[in-house]
Amino acid sequence: MNLNDKSKIYIAGHRGMVGSAIWRALEAKGYSNLIGQTSSELDLRDQEAVTSFFSEHKPDVVIDAAARVGGILANNTYPYQFLMENMQIQNNLIDSSFRTDVQKFIFLGSSCIYPKLAPQPLKEEHLLTGPLEPTNEWYAVAKITGVKACESIRKQYGRDYISLMPTNLYGPFDNFDLNTSHVLPAMIRKFHLAKEGGNVPVELWGSGTPMREFLYVEDLADAVVFALENEFHDNLYNVGTGVDLTIKELAELIQKTVGHSGEILWDSSKPDGTPRKLMDVSKMENAGWKAKVGLEEGIKKTYQWFLENQESFKEVKI
């Protein structure tokens, strides 16, 4: 497609951590015709409302950064919502894009689409080769259907619909709610509260032995802009750093960044989740894109953003 700075780009989920980072990245590159709707303006679960929106606005490009997301606790507590609402959101966006002749669609998923015990590092071809991690399979199954919907449109109709699967994300505008957040922002808040409370001990879930990879959200936004501006020859690409560390090492890095000097207590009665989830990012690197922000630098930037915005978070006691 002929993309230019006036092309109409609809970013679904533009107020979230990922969508807002993509919006900022596109603006920085001079794209001036960006469209976004809040969830109160457009309920993406409502097929009729989404169809009407596409008929009226007719975007040239759609970037799907909208999803219901959360950590192990949220996935375990609300399995039906994580499955159904994510399928509703993406099905409505993909089908309306297809029906209104949107030529470029970028679908964002998650590394949890890959089997729990897939060989490491995770390659794109490992998809659907084994059972999923039970603690987030509801979300994973929904995202897999999104990948396959985009792949089928690409295969059957030749549209440039691609799926980018980021590893664990973090950064500005992350969710720091201790009940629903992912591991890295939850740790930042826990260590900060413990430091403020006199460096009291911090209790963390699991054994600390699982290994995880983390990508700064502005790097993902950069990858999305790269995918927008370039033609990819396949439908599925991993987006990550290709480097991981143990949850224990992550905790110690965050503890150091925050300046907490108390003890870390591990509750091994709580689930660990997948033992390791390292992405093979060679396919994306071969296409010409590579992550730029290191983990230590990214955590410092994220903690700084947290400090500047903590008055907007719900107060909790530790």
Annotated binding site for NADP(+): 13-19, 108-111, 143, 166-169, 182
Burial of 220 (0-12, 13-18, 19+ CB in 10 A): buried
Count the Cβ atoms, other than its own, within 10 Å of residue 58.
Answer: 12
Q: Residues within the annotated binding site for substrate?
A: 190, 205, 212, 272
Active site residue 10: no
Q: 3-state secondary structure string, 186-210? A: HHHHHHHHHHHCCCCCEEEECCCCC
Torsion angle, alpha carbons of 177, 180, 184, 189, to 10: 20
Residue from 10, 139, 161, 303 carrying the catalytic annotation: 139
Beta bridge pairs of residue 267: 205
Binding-site residue numbers are 13-19, 108-111, 143, 166-169, 182, 190, 205, 212, 272
Please give the torsion angle defined by the CA atoms of residues 229, 230, 233 and 234, in that order, rounded to the nearest 10 degrees: -40
Q: Judge whether 80 and 28 are in contact, CB under 8 Å.
A: no
Note the helical H segments in the chain: 17-28, 47-57, 72-77, 79-99, 137-157, 183-196, 217-229, 247-258, 282-287, 295-309
For 165, other C-beta atoms within 10 Å of its C-beta total: 24
Q: Are strands 276-277 and 160-166 parallel, antiparallel or unpaired?
A: unpaired
Partners of 266 in the beta sheet? 204
Active site residue ranges: 139
